[in-house]
Structure 1
Amino acid sequence: MNWEKLFLYHPTALYQLAVFPFVGFFHYLWISQCLSINARYICLLASGFLLACSAMGCYALLVFISTVGSVAVIHSAGPQQAHKWVFFFQMAWQTVCHMGLHYKEYFLHEAAGIRFSVALSVLMMMTQKATSLALDIQERKVRVESPSLAEGSRLMQYLLRALPFSSYLLSPPTLLGGPLCSFHRFQAWIKNPSAPPPKRFLWAAAQKGFGAVILALLKNLVRGYACPPDNLLSCRGLGCIPALWTSALFFRLAYYSHWMLDESIFIASGLGLELGCDRYAGSAGGVLLDTDIWTLETTNRIAVFTRSWNKSTAQWLKRLVFQRTPSRPLLATFAFSAWWHGLHPGQIFGFLCWAVMVEADYRIRYFSRSFAPSQPWRLLYQILTWCQTQLIVAYVMLAIEMRSLSLLWQLWFSYNSFFPLLYAISLPLLAKRSTSSPVDPRVSRH
């Protein structure tokens, strides 16, 4: 049996496992007060630099340019301008790197190397952290302060000012993955570390790691039943339904296992602790963990699935785009998500389709309240909408994962398109009814 292929189910898994003992060692150094604050920042920055070079090779330069550029923009622009210029710089640089990937795939017909793919994934997370930090600066939650030095060059002052932000962007616990951690929580972890983790805290990290292994094994089991894209798109009749769902389940298990491994490292580092105490915070203490498998697999609403899928990223998109867009924020959020992911044809189609499905889900939910007055009818309604949600999510996920325009075209003309088309057709019909309704169905959103 190929154990390496079985357990190292993601390109970054080996490096994440290597980081695991180091983050625990960092936490021990913090609580033992062996290092000064600046020494802690330098320790994280150096280890992040080595981790990036090990995982990405020469492509780590792409990440270093992103880090240096974002920190330079933050310190050169004023608090009210920092977010705009950081956003522009990060998305421009990330788009250039994604265009390099597209050039290799579509013009040179070369597959992207693992290290290049890892670098692009890290750049996407770097955009999350940099724009989140810039928003905190704009909202006065974080201050860009200059250290008071009696002696020293201006270069040394600049380096000391840039050290916390650079360490935050290249911090090993969140460099290759993990929930989006705010700069405020990162600073609290550095300056005021909690006491040694209690048993329940260590058990929480171990549970996440064990769950990641179990899900990786399940993913490899499902791999044998998942259909290749050609077979999936050429199926006929009701045989398309299990083939579509099984193939999407394979991708979902891959995401779940990767997120749980990231969260295990996140918790083991101490970033998952409630600020100011030794209790494991979870989502209630300001740490938004990404994995909520129960909600994702049991909900009968596409909107709830959307909010629960990769939770910290969903909250970041809400803060960055949805709440700052005056007109059609839902469409703008999904369009930006397609841009952030790389603008492959499948991503553009998949995310725009996802936006239509969420909008239709809101309206269908509002107008279907009176259709199930009794408990048996409500149960039947929940079962049918759960099946519809599962199949629509499977369709959207496969569209996003497809890199070939020809396969995407086949997906559109396959029997699998029936389920999203059912919602898409209902949207304009329900939109007409909502114009004559005294209450807009979107008012009840939460």
Structure 2
Amino acid sequence: MRDSRQGSGRLAERRQRERQAPESRRRSERRWRVGAAWVSDRRLPRWIRSPYGGNSVDVRVRHPDPVRMVSDPPPSSPSSPTDDAGPVAPRSDQPSSPPDRAASPFSRTSSPSDRFSSASDRSSLASDRASSPSHRASSASDRASSPSHRASSPSHRASSPSDRASSASDRAGGLLAVTGATGQLGGLALTALRERVPADRLVAVVREPRRATGLGVAVRLGDYDRPDTLRTAFAGVSRLLFVSSPELDPARRTEQHRAVVAAAVAAGVQGLVYTSFLDIPPLSGAHLATEDAIAASGIPFTVLRNPFYSEAFLPGPVPSAASAPGASTPGDSTPGASAPASLVYATAGRPLNTAARSDLAEAAALALLGTQTGRTWTLTGPHWTHPDLAAELGIDAREGEVPGPMGMLHGLARAGLLTTQTPDLAELLGRPPLTMAEVSRSR
């Protein structure tokens, strides 16, 4: 009886010395948590012990008190890394524990005496370990079912850009505004947006509200020449589709565009999509200045560098004998007009990269609904030539002089400035863009 009391006293003194040991010594013992159990360092395989091994996993958590672990076997077991004689020195071939492991959310905060003093605690832990095979079996079944989940993922990734853009817009929320909504490009973009989001989330910003009847969305006055109207029009707008001004004077256009950007910043707009133009030096000066202003504004932005519209190169009807001479203009639909007898061009047969206006409007709507920002898209359509277009229309094609503004465009094509090709438009649309033949047939 006396020997038993002396042994108990020595055991208590030994444990007291261990608790009073320096912190550096206490930290030298590593205990890891794997699953629901605290496992001593020597009982773990090497690939789990190594914090930098190729198979290491982030489930290892150091126990706050290395003196007695919940998963340690009884003191008499020789496999235990600690016993009543004191802690076993750590193995020299093992790296020290990362310091942030002790701060893990898996660490226990209660005292060791509360957790390990009773035998019932150890027995309950043993039952937990006994149930771990079933847990591992369920994990294996989950992993076995994962291939079917992975097999279904490609179909999810194959969803159309419009579906992805619509879901992204639903998550983002907020008002979406379109400037120039009564123009041709802005009107088509607004129509594309109405097909994808509720009308009560859309705002049409126009210069003349009286012309904006029948749009089916909220209409606000926003004049590029009146910055105060722009700040009011952009109030509460989350994302803005900024359609470039039709102004031909580069200096005035630049001033108008900077007013739009400043108003968007003042209104707290969180995203901006700008319809720019291809980088063609004679024509892109105001657009490049606007792009610089947008980048300096701090608003997350997307730039769409649009090409010329394919519709602008379609031959207009010519007046018949019953109509007044000179009454018809290119693209006019005057009654009594007929198709031209021949297609005159001055491009030297060079291909053009124009795109359908409807495709560019749809691309702008998808960019507004998307989540990717900070990118400049160079949008181009499929190549076509005037002889090919004439064959599609069933008329002759011949080289000749093209007067007026169209003559300048033909000169750009002849110089090879309208031949750039990129896949950006097809990537935005999620489909091939319309060809010139398809545009002519749809007209």
Q: TM-score range by the shorter chain?
A: under 0.3
Q: Which has the higher contact order (CA 8 A, sep 6+)?
A: 1
Instruction: Name which one, 1 or 2, has greater alpha-carbon Rg.
Output: 2
More strand by share: 2
Q: TM-score, normalised by structure 1?
A: 0.20
Taking structure 2 as the reference length, the TM-score comes to 0.20
